[in-house]
Chains A and B, each alone.
Chain A
Amino acid sequence: MDSVTPYRITPERLLDLFEKNRSELFANDPPDVHARREKALESFQKKGFPDKKLEDWRNTDLSESLNREYDYPLHRTEEDDQHKVFRCNIPHLDTAVIGQLNGWFVSKDVPLIELGNGIIIGSLAEAMNKYPGLVEKHLGNYASVEQSSFTALNTAFATDGTFIYIPDGVKSDKPVQLVNVIQHRENIFIQSRNLIVLGKNAQLTVVHCDDSYDHQPSFSNVVTEIVLDEGAFLDHYKLQNLNNDSTLISSTWFHLGKNASLESHFITLNGGMLRNNTFVKFNGSFGNANVYGLYLMDRQQHIDNNIFVDHASPDCMSNELFKGVLDEHASGVFNGHVLVERDAQRTNAYQNNRNILLTDSAKINSKPFLEIYNDDVKCSHGSSTGQLDPQAMFYLQQRGIGEENARMLLMYAFADEIVNKIAIEPLQHRIEDMVKKRLQGELQICEQCVLHCSTPEHPAEFKIDVSKI
C-alpha cells in the first residue's frame, strides 16, 4: 500500500483522476455500464458540486465538508484484510449479514454467491464479471444523472458495493443486513454503489446500516438503486449512526413496477452532515409506497431529507411521514416533493413532517410540496414544528416525574410513532432501545445493529457467512 497525501476533492481533481485511471479502473464494465459512466461524467463536469444557490441545496451547506482534505482510494484499502469489524448482535433477529468497509464489499473468500433458489448476493464488481447482462440491464438505469450531480459523480466513478438479486417469485426468508462501516487512518472520500433487483412477486427485507468505527472524518457519496418488478414487496430500513465529522450523501432510487409495494424507514440517530436523497418512481399502476423517517440530532449536526415521489402511473398510493427532534444547534431540512403526472389518475399522495425543536438555536426548514397535473387525485401535505407540550410536561411532573424524565417520555412518545412502523419485532425492539439511548445521550457511535463495540481497542472481526441467506 503506497502512502497517501489527502487533498481537497474538487471537480478538476476528480476529472483528472478519471482520465488517468479510466483504462485500468473500468476495464470490467459491461458496454452499457461504461456508456452510462461517460455520460455521467459529462453531466457532473457540467454541474460540479451543488451549492446553496440551488433551490434543492439552499439550506444544506457542504462547503465545510468539501473544504476538508481526503484520501480517495480507488482500490480496496489495506484495512480490508477481511479480519476486522463486525458480528451480528440484534437479539433474536436472524439475518444474513453482509458488510462493506469504506464502500468495498467485504468478501472474505466468497465475493459472490448464488443460492439454490436463484438469489444472488455479493460484490457488485464481481457481479459485473459474472452476470454482466443482469447488471447492465439495471445499473445506472434508474438513478438519474440529470437529477443529481452527486449521483452523476457516483455513476462515473463507483466500481463496487453490494449486489442483491431476488428472482421472480422468490421470497427471501431472512432479512439481509447490509452494513457500511467506515474506518481509515486518514480522512476518507468514499463512493460506493449498490444495486438491488427484485423480480416479479419477489420479497425481501433489507436493513441497511451506515456506521462509523471511529471519529475520523469521512465523506461518503453512496448511491443505491432498487428496482421492484411487478408485485414485488420490499421492506427497507436505513439506519444511520455516524460520527460527528462524517458527511454522507446517500441517494436511494426506488423504481416500482405494477402492484409493487415498498415500506421504507430512514432512521437517523447520529452524523455530522447528512443528506438522504430518496426518489420513488411508480412505473406501473397500483403501486404502493410508505416512506417513513425519524431523525434525532443535536450539537452542530445537520440532516436533510429530500424526497421526490414521481406518480408516473395511475392508481398508486404514496405516504410520507417524517418526524424529528432537534436539540442544541442542530439543523434539519425536509423537502418533500410529490409530482403527479398527467396520466396518474386516482393518485393518493400524503406528506407529513413534524418536528420538535428543543432549543432556540435548533432549526428546521420544512417544505412539503405537491405538483399535480391531474384532477382526479387525493393529496395532502402538512408540516408542524413546535416545542414539547408544556401542559403534558406539567401533567407528568405533577405525578412526581422529574423534568428530565418527563422530557424523555414525551420525546420518546413522539419518536415512537415511527418506531412502531417497524415490522420486524426484534429489530423494532433494538431500534427502540437505540432511540432511548440516543435521547438520553448514551448512544455510542459504534453501537449499532451489528458492531460489537464494547471494547473498541480490540478490533472485532468480520464474521460473514453468506451461505446462511
Chain B
Amino acid sequence: MLLKITNLHAAINGKEILKGINLDVNKGEVHAIMGPNGTGKSTLAAVIAGRDLFDVTQGEILYKRKNLMNLSVEERAREGIFIGFQYPVEIPGVSITNFMRTAVNEIRAYKGLDPLPAGEFLKMMEKKKKLVEITSDLTNRSVNEGFSGGEKKRNEIFQMAMLEPTLAILDETDSGLDIDALRVVANGVNKLRTPENAFVVITHYQRLLEYIIPDFVHILYEGRIVKSGGKELAIELEEKGYDWIKQQL
C-alpha cells in the first residue's frame, strides 16, 4: 500500500475540519475525491503535505509504511509526494528554471545522487515542456508571477512532470480552466500515469473525470468520506447533486 490514512482528525485554530478520514491508495491507482465547498478537501491535501497551519489531533497517515508525521514538508516532497495547488503562489524574482533546478537537485541529493549537469537539466525541461504542451517561454519567467489562471495550473502540471512524484494530489486543478486548458492538464496526468505511481484528484465537478478516468471515487462531506465507489459514482453525483448525499445521511 502506498498511502494509508486511518481515522484522521485535523483542526485549525481549535476548529475540527477533518473528522475521521479513512483512505487507502495503492500504486497504479487514480482516486477522485469529490464534495461540496468547505468539507475539508483542501485541508486533507494540506495535511498530507505537512502544512503546519493544521493540527493533527487523532489518527495517522502512513506513506510507504512511514509515519508522515515524523517527516518535514520537504522530506515528504523528496519521498515523492506532490501537491498541485488550487491557488499556486506567485514568487517574484525566482525563475521557474532556477526553482526547478534547485528542487530537482535537492531531491536527487536526498536519494544520494549527484546534481544533474546543466545541459541534461535543460534537456529534461524541454522534454517535460513538450509533454505538458507548454510552447511559450513560461519557464524563463518568475514563478507564477502575472500568470493567468490556466498558466498557473499548467505550470503545476509541468512541475509535476519535472519532479516525477510517486503520489500526486491535485487540488481542484480544474477550477477556473476552460475546456482546452482542462484537456491539457488531463493529458499531462494521463501521460505521467505509470503502474508505480498514484494520483488523488480533488474536484468539484465530474467534468475533469471525463478526461482522467478514476479507479475510485470518494465523496467527502463534513470532514468524513461518506461514500466510495467506482467512476459511476461521479456520474450519479453529477445527476443527483450533493443534496442526494445529505438526504442519505
A residues with a Cβ closer than 8 A to B are 389, 391-392, 394-403, 405-406, 409-410, 412-414, 416-417
Contact = CB atoms under 8 A, between A and B. Distances in A.
B31 interface: no
Contacts of B85: 395
27 contacts: A392-B89, A392-B91, A395-B89, A396-B103, A397-B72, A397-B73, A397-B74, A397-B77, A398-B73, A398-B83, A399-B99, A399-B103, A399-B163, A400-B78, A400-B110, A405-B102, A406-B74, A409-B91, A409-B98, A409-B102, A410-B91, A410-B94, A412-B93, A413-B94, A413-B142, A414-B93, A417-B93
Interface of B: 49, 51, 72-74, 77-78, 82-83, 85, 88-89, 91-94, 98-100, 102-103, 106-107, 110, 142-143, 159, 163
B73 A394 contact: yes
Given A395-B85, A396-B99, A402-B106, A413 B93 contact: yes
Contacts of A397: 72-74, 77
Contact of A413 (B72, B92, B106, B110): B92
B74 to A, nearest CB: 5
A392 B51 CA distance: 12
User: Top 4 A-B pairs ranked by shortest CB distance?
Assistant: A413-B93, A400-B77, A399-B103, A397-B73
A60 B82 CA distance: 48
A162 to B, nearest CB: 35
Nearest to B80: A400
B106 A409 contact: no
Contacts of B143: 395
A412 B82 CA distance: 25
B159 A399 contact: yes
A97 to B, nearest CB: 31
Contacts of B93: 412-414, 416-417
A134 to B, nearest CB: 45
Given A402-B106, A413-B94, A416-B93, 20 more contacts: A391-B89, A392-B91, A394-B73, A395-B143, A397-B77, A398-B77, A398-B82, A399-B77, A399-B163, A400-B110, A400-B163, A401-B102, A401-B106, A405-B106, A409-B94, A409-B102, A410-B91, A410-B94, A412-B94, A417-B92
Contacts of A410: 91, 94
Nearest to B102: A401
A436 to B, nearest CB: 11
A9 B113 CA distance: 59
Contacts of B98: 409
Contacts of B72: 397, 403
B51 A409 contact: no
Could you tell me the dominant secondary structure of chain A's interface residues?
A: helix
A398 B49 contact: yes
Contacts of A394: 49, 51, 73
B142 to A, nearest CB: 8
A406 B99 CA distance: 9
B89 A400 contact: no
Contact of A403 (B74, B91, B99, B102): B74
Given A394-B51, A395-B85, A409-B99, A402 B91 contact: no
B59 to A, nearest CB: 22
Nearest to B83: A398
B161 to A, nearest CB: 13
A401 B94 CA distance: 13
Q: Which residue, of A398, A401, A403, has the highest number of chain B Cβ atoms within 10 A?
A: A398
A261 to B, nearest CB: 26
Nearest to A419: B93
Contacts of B163: 399-400
B190 to A, nearest CB: 22
A396 B102 CA distance: 10
Contacts of A392: 89, 91
Contacts of A398: 49, 73-74, 77, 82-83
B63 to A, nearest CB: 14
B239 to A, nearest CB: 36
Contacts of B102: 401, 405, 409
Nearest to B107: A400
A395 B93 CA distance: 15
B171 to A, nearest CB: 11
Nearest to B145: A413
A349 B107 CA distance: 47
Contacts of B88: 395
Contacts of A396: 91, 99, 103
A394 B82 CA distance: 12
Nearest to A415: B93
Q: Which residue, of B74, B78, B85, B110, has the highest number of chain A Cβ atoms within 10 A?
A: B74
A401 B91 contact: no
A416 B143 CA distance: 14
A398 B77 CA distance: 5
Contacts of A401: 74, 99, 102-103, 106
A416 B74 CA distance: 25
B51 A400 contact: no
Contacts of B73: 394, 397-398
Contacts of A417: 92-93
Contacts of B89: 389, 391-392, 395
Nearest to B95: A413
Q: Which residue, of A392, A394, A400, A413, has the highest number of chain B Cβ atoms within 10 A?
A: A400
Contacts of B83: 398
Given A401-B102, A402-B106, A395 B77 contact: no
A394 B73 CA distance: 8
Contacts of B51: 394
Contacts of A400: 74, 77-78, 103, 106-107, 110, 163
Contacts of B77: 397-400
Given A400-B106, A400-B107, A409-B99, A395 B91 contact: yes
Nearest to B78: A400
A401 B143 CA distance: 14
A412 B143 CA distance: 14
Nearest to B51: A394
A414 B91 CA distance: 9
B169 to A, nearest CB: 10
A416 B91 CA distance: 12
